[in-house]
Amino acid sequence: MLDIFLQTLPFFAIIGLGYGAGRTGAFTPEATAYLTKFVFYFALSAMLFRFSANLSLGEVWNGRLVVAYLWGTAFVYGIATIVALLRGQGMRRTAVEAQCAVIGNAGFLGVPMLVLLLGQAAIGPVMLVLAVDLIVFSSLIVILMSIANEGRLDLSIFKTIGLGLLKNPMIVSISLGFAWSATGAPLPTPVNAFVTLLGDAATPGALFAIGASLASKSTERIEVAVWLSFCKLILHPIFVAIAAIWVFPLDRYSAGVVIAAAALPVAGNVYMLAQHYGVAPQRVSAAILVSTAISILTVSLVIGWVSGFQLS
């Protein structure tokens, strides 16, 4: 377990470096915003394109994994929803809290860290988790906010959701990669070298950007942040483990990867959604800060556990 902790420590050390740079003013919020854009639109997209271009969709697609992850995630989403409604939070705040409970940082943290720690074969499962989060749950919060704001479901919202997915650089880069893979042709050497070089900037850039963005986060409603962190870091991997091991049993490797992906801290894009809708952004901010800090220990524990799942 100590060995796993030491392997994950450099990732969180870079997050800590970014946090320190943000807190001291050495890295301004404006600089953080530009670094985040660089990683999101260029470096991470190049990494995802290279991964998918070198794999066929058949190698990546695993319907049982998608169902297992959806089942486990839906259970935690439901728990967070019920607790929020019992606290009288209303539909808008409830939707935001439920999103915090299940949406992990699979893009900026999960892809680079889990692929490096669990091996190249983790690419497929992590990309499926990322796709489910983006397509299913990011769409769900938009639908719920539309119902809460309009008092009904406006079917035009599905056009907005569709356009949003088509414009998401992670979805676009994965789709383009699989489209290239379908041709059966290898990436030309200069193109492969280009996307490799650019993609290599994703890991340190994303981790530093996470830390720098945390520097501006507050800890309002700390008890709620702790509850949501418990949902994300503990309940989410537990229910995904139940689904992936017993309810919809996967091969041991895939189960281990999807459980590790479920153990990631709350994603930064939940804050962007909360800010966009003007619904409890400080609450989400605190959940991201608290869950990221605690995940230094919990992610190491989960990865240490799943590393015994005959990972190779």
Q: What is the pLDDT of residues 139-175, one digit of tens each?
A: 899 888 888 877 777 777 788 788 888 888 989 999 9
| pLDDT tier at 311, thresholds 50, 70, 90 | very low
pLDDT of 310 > 60? The answer is no
Least confident of 203-212, 224-233, 269-278: 269-278
CA distances from 97 to 90, 112, 246, 287 (A): 11, 26, 28, 9
| Cα 28–Cα 32–Cα 33 angle in degrees, nearest 5 | 120
Closest CA to 99 of 129, 67, 71, 139: 139
Q: Mean pLDDT over residues 17-26, rounded? A: 94
| Topology of domain 2-27+61-168+202-306, CATH | Na+/H+ antiporter like fold (1.20.1530)
The DSSP secondary-structure symbol of 247 reads I
Looking at the chain, the whole-number percentage of residues with pLDDT higher than 70 is 98
Rounded Cα distance, 248 and 68, in Å: 6
Listed by start position, the domains of the chain span 2-27+61-168+202-306
pLDDT one-digit tens code per residue, 117-133: 998 899 999 999 999 99
Q: What is the predicted pLDDT for the residue at 167?
A: 85
Q: What is the predicted pLDDT for the residue at 232?
A: 97
Q: Mean pLDDT over residues 36-49, rounded? A: 93
CB contact set of 222 (below 8 Å; sequence gap of 6+): 286, 290
pLDDT of 312 > 60? The answer is no
21 vs 151: which has the higher pLDDT: 21
Q: What is the predicted pLDDT for the residue at 219?
A: 66
pLDDT of 76 > 70? The answer is yes
Show the tokens assigned to 264.
């990631």
CA distances from 308 to 31, 125, 230 (A): 40, 17, 24
Show the tokens assigned to 242.
């139940």
Show the tokens assigned to 153.
């479901």
Rounded Cα distance, 197 and 201, in Å: 7
Q: Mean pLDDT over residues 11-20, rounded? A: 94
Q: Mean pLDDT over residues 2-6, rounded? A: 81
Q: For the chain, what is the mean pLDDT?
A: 91
6 vs 88: which has the higher pLDDT: 88
| pLDDT tier at 72, thresholds 50, 70, 90 | very high
CA distances from 272 to 39, 90, 156, 159 (A): 16, 20, 22, 20
Rounded Cα distance, 229 and 291, in Å: 5
Show the tokens assigned to 44.
């991470």
- Count Cβ atoms within 10 A of the Cβ of residue 183 and give its class: 0-12 exposed, 13-18 middle, 19 or more buried: exposed
Q: What is the predicted pLDDT for the residue at 128?
A: 93
Whole-prediction pTM value? Answer: 0.91
Show the tokens assigned to 281.
């952004």
